[in-house]
Amino acid sequence: MDLQDLVIPEGVIAHLKVTSKKQALQELAAKAAQVTELDERKIFETLLERERLGSTGVGQGIAIPHGKLASLDKLHGLFARLDHPIDFDSVDEKPVDLIFLLLAPESAGADHLKALARISRLLRNQKMVEKLRATENNEALYALLTEPSASATSVA
Amino acid sequence: MLEAQTVAIFIVAGLVCAAILSSLLSFRIGSPLLLVFLVVGLAAGEDGFGLVVFNDAGTAYLIGSIALSVILFDSGYATRFRSYRAAGVPAVVLATAGVLLTAGLTGTAAKFLFNVGWLEGMLLGTILASTDAAAVFFLLRVGGVTIRERIRSLLEIESGTNDPMAIFLTLTLVELIAAGAGIETLSAGLLGRFAWAMLGGALIGAAGGWLILVAVNRIQFDKPLYPLIVLSLAVTVFAMASIVEASGFLATYIAGLIAGNMRMRYSQALEDFQSGVTWFCQIAMFLTLGLLATPSEFPAVFAGALAIAAFLIFFARPLAVWICLSLFRFSPADMTFVSWVGLRGAVSILLGIIPLVGGIGDGQSYFNIAFIVVLLSLAIQGWSIGPVARWLGLLVPPIKGPVDRIQLELPTASRHELVTYKIAPDSPVALGARMPRWARPSLVIRDGASMSARRAGRLKEGDSIYIFVTPRQVQLLDKLFARPVPEDEFTSTFFGDFILKPDARMGDVAPLYDFSVSEEEAELSAEEFLLRRLPQPLDMGDRTTIGTVDLIVRALNEEGTRVLEVGISVQPMRPSLETMPLPLPASVRKVLLKAIGSMRSGMREE
């Protein structure tokens, strides 16, 4: 599972300016709507539903909001680097400044879980996270996320 | 004459020093320390450097018995009632039925392997049947690894309580063989004796435990005498029970269990003294047993001992464990680990002396075989506990980082103690977390100056604080003052990638993570679902597989009855042949896996 198949260059935001979790999800839903040509509201609500089951803030300043949409054609990922960390109700209560959003079609099955595992492991890699925090433009971030060495540690 | 005595003192004290110094080496190379002590004993003995020629089995048995009674007292002392709540019943089943099964299976193998009678075979079986408390305790606690609580409790209780059973069986069999009796003399009278040994041992132990409490809490001695009175009462209890033919080892274990779980004065001093004495007893016992052995006789029985060890490690113990534990809810990974931690130790060698002392014709071979099996077990199983636990996913990642804490006990029997913390950088307090009201420090030391908490105001990194709390509160304080642990791959495999609230509806969770639940299950909360699937009390990291994901107990209440946080692992790691910790070079492993793979596909085609 390569991140290249999930994220397109337009899906990377190096400077997202938001002040709250809700606003961050809204902005990301808007961006996702552009990429997927689906209804922004519907995406936002899907993400909120998942947050109601428990925050996707996994700790160490990272959040991985995700959800399933019936009308989606394939897996879509977005990555955002926040200018100012925001409160995300994370497990460790630390403010979040890196967000990876994953949307999956209803029938994605194993691919969806593989992609989630892949993203979760990538963002638990301290070195990777440091690099992502230090990178300030879209192209460089995209290159970093999709570089082969990042995929080399992939399982399965 | 006098000179010879001083030389003897020099040699014995020197050996103890050598054993202690070798512990440094042992920590570095990760070998089981007890194995090192045995080897020091062997090296000093007649076939080694010949410093000591020691062939007195009776004295060795005496030293071993006293040492073992102290060690068992200490393992009872260190076992919390909480562990019994977590795994008491399965552990006791393992310690009784499990010992019988292991002894029976190993005994049968020994009968045919060595071509001896049933009684002689069974004698070897019972000698090898019990796991060693000292070895298990030690290996489960060193090296900074934490094994999941339920499994650790199970193994610790089992190893502490199965010795009395094995000792009783061995003594009985030696008596029968020495009297020239056959297996048909095993009669109902034996059952009565067994019942008395266990019941009497437990009763005398309980009374002894109570006596220790009274001695420490009610009577005024000079302070340094308290640890001594506890220790001497423990050995007295052992002897008293043995005199009336009850199990002395069970008695001293029970006495320790009771004393260790009750509030006692000077508990810190008692603990320190006790762990020192227990170390000394282990060293003394292993050195003595090492000295007693005559390695030049080993080759004669080596092949047989190797076969018995392999049978015991790979067949008898696993089978006994699977039979006993299948009555309870344990996962295959749990049972595999418990099978692997069937460490044999000093107890088996000590039991190997009994045939010598009991005057059985071929006593020496029992001892030699037991010795070799223990060496093999300590080397093979002892060395690999860590990797095997990791492979099976039974290691608990640290939930909090290192914390700089000193606990000072107050001289009277007060409930509070004085604790001092140094505030770690990045700890919640240094980052501005609020302190609960009960945790107001009495004194703050900042930049070498002491001040009241009010004057200090907000606590800063590097401050030292002094605070009076009850021991229960210390854990909560640790969370405030400890450095956070960075989440890594290990933590996420254990606790899951994502978090669910305990009240998340399973019907809402299932479609998101591609598993299906029944209509009835869909209405359950994640907490209810876990409680239904998992044995209670719950343990941190308990997990259940559904579809291709694992739901995990991430946080729970003190009693283990409620789930506070549910983890979900979207691509759980399973123990597999590929990841198995085998000491094989990668190329050999590849060939092996390929062979197994083609065998499997070949079977599928048929």
- DSSP states along B172-183: HHHHHHHTT--G
pLDDT at A154 over 70: no
Backbone angles phi, psi at A101, to 5 degrees: -105, 135
- High-pLDDT (> 90) share of chain A, %: 14
- Is A113's CB within 8 Å of B492's CB? no
Q: Is residue B216 part of a domain?
A: no
For residues B265 and B275, what is the distance between their CA atoms, to the nearest angstrom? Answer: 17
Domain stops at, among B448, B481, B514: B481
B330 vs B535: CA distance, rounded Å? 8
> Does B132 map to a domain?
yes
CA distance B501 to chain A (A): 5
Look at chain B and report how many structural domains it folds into.
3
Q: Is residue B275 part of a domain?
A: yes
Q: What is the Cα–Cα distance from B129 to B168, expressed in whole angstroms? A: 12
Does residue A154 sit at the B interface (CB-CB below 8 Å)? no
CA distance A121 to chain B (A): 7
For residues B82 and B84, give the distance between their C-alpha atoms in angstroms, rounded to a whole number.
5
B577 sits in the region (left: phi over 0; alpha: psi -120 to 50; else beta) called alpha
Q: Do B499 and A55 touch (CB under 8 A)?
A: yes
Residue B493: closest CA among chain A residues belongs to which residue?
Answer: A121
8 Å CB contact of A113 and B513: yes
In angstroms, what CA-CA distances link B489 with A113, A123, A126, A154, B448? 16, 10, 10, 12, 40
Say whether A91 and B484 touch across the interface (CB within 8 A). Answer: no
Q: Find the catalytic residue in A66, A76, A84, A112.
A: A66
| Three-state secondary structure of B532-598 | HHCCCCCCCCCEEEECCEEEEEEEECCCCCCEEEEEEECCCCCCCHHHCCCCCCHHHHHHHHHHHHH
What per-residue confidence (pLDDT) applies to A91?
A: 79
Nearest to B335 by CA among B388, B396, B378, B382: B388
Cross-strand partners of B549: B546
**Cis bond before residue B537 (omega within 30° of 0):** yes
What residues in chain B have per-residue pLDDT under 50?
606
Contacts of B509 in chain A (CB under 8 A): 53
Are both B452 and B553 inside the same structural domain? no
Give the Cα separation of B133 and B346 in Å (integer).
9
B516 touches chain A (CB under 8 A): no
Count other Cβ atoms within 10 Å, centred on residue A84: 10
Instruction: Flag if A91 and B513 touch (Cβ within 8 Å).
Output: no
Residues B541 and B439 in one domain: no
Smallest Cα–Cα separation from B86: which of B154, B138, B31?
A: B154
Distance of alpha carbon B296 from alpha carbon B298, whole angstroms = 5
* Under 8 Å between Cβ of B49 and B43: yes
Q: Measure CB to CB from residue B498 to each of A56, A68, A124 and give the nearest one.
A: A56
Alpha-carbon gap, residue A6 to A35, rounded angstroms: 11
What are the chain A neighbours of B527 within 8 Å (beta carbons)?
A: none
Shortest CA distance to B63 belongs to which of B137, B12, B97?
B12
Cα dihedral B285→B176→B358→B248 (10° resolution): 40
**What span, in angstroms and rounded, lies between the C-alpha atoms of B330 and B314?**
19
Q: Is B532 on the interface with A (CB under 8 A)?
A: no
Considering the domain boundaries, does residue B244 fall inside one? no
- What single string gives the DSSP state of each residue in B160-175? HHHHHHHHHHHHHHHH
* Nearest residue to A78 via CA among A50, A109, A100, A54: A100
Query: B363 to each of B19, B177, B356, B391, B509, how far by Cα in Å?
Result: 28, 11, 4, 40, 65
Note whether B423 and B460 are within 8 A (CB): yes
Q: Indicate if B41 and B173 belong to the same structural domain.
A: yes
Report the residue from B488, B548, B565 with minimal CB separation from A110.
B548
Contact B492/A56, CB-based, under 8 Å?
no
Q: Are residues B343 and B477 in the same domain?
A: no
CA distances from A43 to A31, A69, B334, B508 (A): 10, 8, 42, 17
Is A68's CB within 8 Å of B548's CB?
no
**CB contact set of A96 (below 8 Å; sequence gap of 6+):** A21, A24, A57, A61, A62, A63, A82, A85, A86, A87, A88, A90
Q: Helices in B115-244 by DSSP H: which ranges? A: 118-127, 133-141, 149-178, 188-218, 225-243
User: Where is the domain boundary, B453, B481, B509?
Assistant: B481
- Using a CB-CB cut-off of 8 Å, the residues of chain B touching A116 are 497-498, 570-571
B338 lies in a domain?
yes
B172-195 pLDDT, tens digit each: 888 888 877 666 666 667 788 888
Q: Give CA–CA dist B515/B38, Å, rounded.
A: 53
Interacting residues of B396 by C-beta distance below 8 A, sequence separation 6+: B146, B147, B148, B149, B494, B540, B541
Is B296 within the bounds of a domain? yes
Residues B468 and B535 in one domain: no
CA distances in angstroms from B550 to A18, B213, B349, B453, B570, listed in the order given: 34, 46, 43, 46, 7
Question: What's the confidence (pLDDT) of residue A152?
Answer: 44
Q: Once rounded to an integer, what is the mean pLDDT over residues A23-48?
A: 88
pTM assigned to the model: 0.79
- From chain B, pick out residues whose CB is under 8 angstroms from the CB of A101: none
What confidence score (pLDDT) does residue A156 get? 35
The verdict on residue B344 lying in a domain is yes
Pairing of strands A96-105, A66-69: parallel
DSSP letters, A46-115, are HHHHHHHTS--EEETTEE--EEEETT--S-EEEEEEEEEEE----TT-PPEEEEEEEEEETT-THHHHHH
| Token duo for residue B427 | 């700890």
- B30 and B150 together in one domain: yes
Helix (H) or strand (E) holding B364: helix B363-377
Taking an 8 Å cut-off on Cβ atoms, the answer to whether A113 and B499 are in contact is: no
C-beta neighbour count of A59 within 10 angstroms: 23
Any domain includes B400: no
Residues B370 and B274 in one domain: yes
What is residue A151's predicted lDDT score, i.e. its pLDDT?
Answer: 43
Assess whether B154 and B302 both reside in one domain.
yes
Cβ-defined contact of A64 to B498 (cutoff 8 Å) = yes
SS3 B306: helix
A76 is catalytic: no
Residue spans per domain, chain A: 3-146
Q: Give the residue numbers spanning the domain of B476.
A: 405-481
| C-alpha to C-alpha distances, A47 to A13, A35, B118, B566, nearest whole angstrom | 18, 16, 70, 19
Q: Quick check: helix, strand or coil at residue B51?
A: coil
Last residue of a domain, one of B418, B451, B481: B481
Backbone angles phi, psi at B555, to 5 degrees: -150, 145
Same domain? For B283 and B417 the reply is no
CATH number of domain containing B505: 3.30.465.10
* Mutate: best of B399, B429, B483, B487, partner A, most A CBs <10 A: B487
pLDDT for B461: 79
Same domain, B497 and B476: no
Mean pLDDT, chain B, whole residue set? 84
Say yes or no: B473 and B496 in one domain. no
Q: What does the DSSP 8-state code read for residue B465?
A: E
The correct CATH number of A3-146 out of 3.40.630.10, 3.40.50.10420, 3.40.930.10, 3.40.50.261 is 3.40.930.10
User: What pLDDT score does B409 carry?
Assistant: 67
Phi, psi dihedral angles at B473 (to 5 degrees)? -75, -15
pLDDT digits (tens, 9 = 90+) for B249-270: 999 999 999 999 988 888 878 8
Q: Which residues of A touch B500 (CB under 8 A)?
A: 53-54
Of B37, B483, B48, B527, nearest to A92 by C-alpha is B483
Question: Considering only CA atoms, which of B76, B80, B58 is closest in space to residue B238?
Answer: B76
Domain identity same for B314 and B420 = no
Kindly report the backbone phi and psi dihedral angles of residue A116, in degrees, each rounded to the nearest multiple of 5, phi listed first.
Answer: -60, -45
